[in-house]
């Protein structure tokens, strides 16, 4: 089920919300948790109920392993848990990738499996690996299957994160003051949700439409069209992903739950190290805590630290997609982050505007690689962006760049010069002014639902 759908806003959300707080008001705490878990599983299975047993089996397996680690932390049990998760993710997400490369290397003709990627498997797999490692480290104190199910399935973050820690969510559900409706939280949550919905539907989707149409004809793009397509994708990914994160935070706030921040104006960063501290922050936190630090983290020997960074970004690239373009994308980001650390170590300070310009250019180039179907398209678009001989003003029927100009300008202004949604929400007051903002954003977004689009990370 999509956040940007009539059935979610007018049926699912109000029914689940009032049902949950009705049960808590009657002190039926266990029943309220069951209601929330069942509602979240219904939300998950709306897309395809065939994968409901998969997430239930994964939850059961990880709960039992985590509980065992809580009683007695052993490396074999932790290894079993991590391998089990990696195998499950690898089978559905990477089986065809490995078969294709096996066929290519050995000249074989093994049949592809053509498996559909289960919804949210990349997210709930990482979240559960974090739970297992935290249990091994003694950082997870409570082991109740109902609470664990609520932690994994809580519907605002289920499909696309943020990737949460057990210790930062479950204690919130156990605080008594959070078991009653707090209308100030509801109004704030609706405001944040409205901002996120508008980012997705009013900016993200139109930008994605143009960029996708252009990249479908990548080899025909002129210099100007290549820039329009690349910048459109850079902006669309930000408004799409951060819009979802805002909606998740807003819904969580309605339930009195503080979901962690996932985006913090990443395009205002001055280098790639700072960029990754601002972009998909809970994924960066996971990779830092459970990959980078496990490798040794900031070793005194510089080249070892840089190697750890590269390995971490290799994992990040492979997590994002089963293809060599994603692997190279991850490694390229790793190189840019290493360069930022080298400059910091050398105490080399660059002019802010030059540093920002190089960072943003790097984001554009890496995003081209990320969204391209193959290396050939990625190279053509990147080369064409700087090919002055291809400076022509043809009108391509699938990509009206002049109609796209206002979206790009507005997107750049909002991403670079305005406060982000969380910064704006800090000034929120439950008054008529903010009510008007909320109503206007929600109403404008509702008119786009007839052509609602899935989120770009919907099946990661």
Q: Is 320 one of the catalytic residues? A: yes
Q: What is the DSSP secondary structure assignment for residue 425, as one 8-state letter?
A: H
399 by DSSP, 3-state: which? strand
- The dihedrals phi and psi of 218, each to the nearest 5 degrees, come to -55, -40
pLDDT greater than 90 at residue 239: yes
What is the predicted pLDDT for the residue at 278? 96
Residue 252: cis peptide before it, omega within 30 degrees of 0: no
Give per-residue pLDDT as tens, 341-380: 999 988 888 999 999 999 999 999 999 999 999 999 999 9
Query: Which are the contacts of 126, defined by CB distance < 8 A and separation ≥ 6?
Result: 163, 283, 286, 319
Q: What is the pLDDT of residues 11-70, one digit of tens each?
A: 999 999 999 999 999 999 999 999 999 999 999 999 889 999 999 999 999 999 999 998
Taking 70 as the threshold, does the pLDDT of residue 399 lie above it? no
pLDDT above 90: residue 251? yes
Domain-by-domain residue ranges, the chain? 50-181, 184-270+350-451
pTM of the model: 0.93
Helix or strand or coil: residue 3?
coil
> What pLDDT band is residue 459 in, cutting at 50, 70 and 90?
low
Neighbouring C-beta atoms of residue 289, cutoff 10 Å: 15
Q: Determine which of 65-79, 162-176, 237-251, 264-278 has the lowest per-residue pLDDT on average.
A: 162-176
- The predicted model gives 190-216 an average pLDDT of 94
Tokens at residue 267, please?
Answer: 């395009």
What is the residue-averaged pLDDT of the chain? Answer: 92
pLDDT at 403: 76
458 pLDDT exceeds 80?
no
pLDDT category, 395, cuts 50, 70, 90?
low
Please check the confidence at residue 460 and state whether its pLDDT lies above 70: no
Catalytic annotation, pick one of 165, 166, 280, 320: 320
Instruction: Give me the pLDDT at residue 436, please.
Output: 95
The per-residue pLDDT for 133 is 94
Q: In the predicted model, what is the mean pLDDT of residues 114-126? A: 90
Q: How far apart are CA 335 and CA 317, in angstroms?
A: 13
Which burial class, exposed, middle or buried, applies to 201 when counting CB atoms under 10 A from its CB (0-12, 13-18, 19+)? buried
Please give the average per-residue pLDDT across 313-326, as a whole number.
Answer: 94
Provide the pLDDT for residue 22: 96
- The reported pLDDT for the residue numbered 457 is 74
Give the phi and the psi of residue 131 in degrees, each rounded to 5: -60, -40
pLDDT of residue 405: 87
CA distance 68 to 111: 39
Model confidence band, residue 402 (pLDDT cutoffs 50, 70, 90): low
Give the pLDDT score at 117: 87
76-90, 199-213, 288-302 — which is least confidently predicted? 288-302
Q: What is the pLDDT of residue 454?
A: 83
């Amino acid at each position: 089920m999509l956040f940007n759908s009539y059935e979610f806003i007018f049926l699912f959300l109000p029914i689940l919300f009032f049902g949950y707080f009705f049960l808590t008001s009657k002190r039926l705490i266990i029943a309220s948790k069951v209601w929330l878990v069942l509602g979240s599983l219904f939300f998950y299975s709306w897309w395809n109920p065939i994968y409901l047993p998969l997430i239930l089996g994964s939850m059961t397996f990880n709960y039992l392993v985590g509980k065992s680690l809580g009683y007695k932390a052993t490396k074999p049990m932790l290894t079993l848990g991590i391998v089990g998760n990696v195998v499950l993710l690898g089978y559905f997400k990477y089986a065809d990738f490995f078969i294709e490369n096996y066929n290519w290397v050995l000249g074989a003709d093994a049949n592809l499996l053509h498996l559909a990627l289960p919804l949210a498997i990349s997210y709930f797999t990482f979240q559960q690996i974090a739970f297992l490692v935290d249990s091994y480290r003694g950082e997870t104190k409570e082991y109740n299957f109902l609470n664990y199910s609520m932690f994994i399935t809580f519907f605002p973050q289920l499909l696309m994160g943020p990737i949460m820690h057990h210790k930062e969510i479950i204690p919130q559900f156990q605080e008594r003051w959070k078991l009653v409706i707090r209308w100030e939280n509801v109004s704030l949550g609706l405001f944040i949700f409205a901002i996120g919905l508008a980012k997705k539907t009013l900016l993200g989707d139109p930008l994605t439409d143009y960029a996708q149409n252009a990249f479908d004809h990548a080899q025909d793009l002129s210099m100007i069209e290549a820039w329009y397509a690349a910048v459109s994708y850079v902006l669309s990914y930000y408004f799409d992903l951060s819009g979802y994160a805002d909606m998740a935070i807003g819904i969580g706030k309605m339930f009195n739950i503080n979901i962690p921040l996932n985006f913090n104006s990443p395009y205002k960063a001055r280098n790639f190290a700072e960029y990754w501290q601002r972009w998909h922050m809970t994924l960066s936190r996971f990779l830092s805590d459970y990959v980078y630090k496990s490798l040794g983290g900031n070793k005194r020997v510089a080249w070892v630290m840089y190697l750890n960074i590269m390995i971490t970004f290799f994992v990040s690239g492979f997590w994002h997609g089963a293809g060599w373009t994603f692997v190279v994308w991850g490694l390229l980001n790793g190189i840019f982050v290493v360069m930022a650390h080298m400059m910091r170590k050398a105490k080399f300070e660059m002019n802010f505007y030059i540093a920002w310009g190089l960072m943003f250019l790097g984001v554009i180039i890496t995003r081209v690689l990320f969204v391209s179907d193959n290396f050939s398209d990625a190279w053509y678009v990147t080369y064409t962006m700087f090919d002055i001989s291809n400076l022509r003003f043809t009108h391509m029927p699938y990509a009206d760049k002049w109609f796209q100009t206002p979206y790009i300008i507005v997107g750049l202004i909002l991403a670079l010069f305005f406060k982000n949604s969380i910064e704006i929400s800090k000034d929120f007051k439950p008054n008529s002014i903010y009510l008007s903002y909320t109503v206007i954003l929600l109403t404008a977004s509702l008119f786009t639902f007839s052509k609602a689009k899935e989120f770009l990370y919907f099946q990661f």
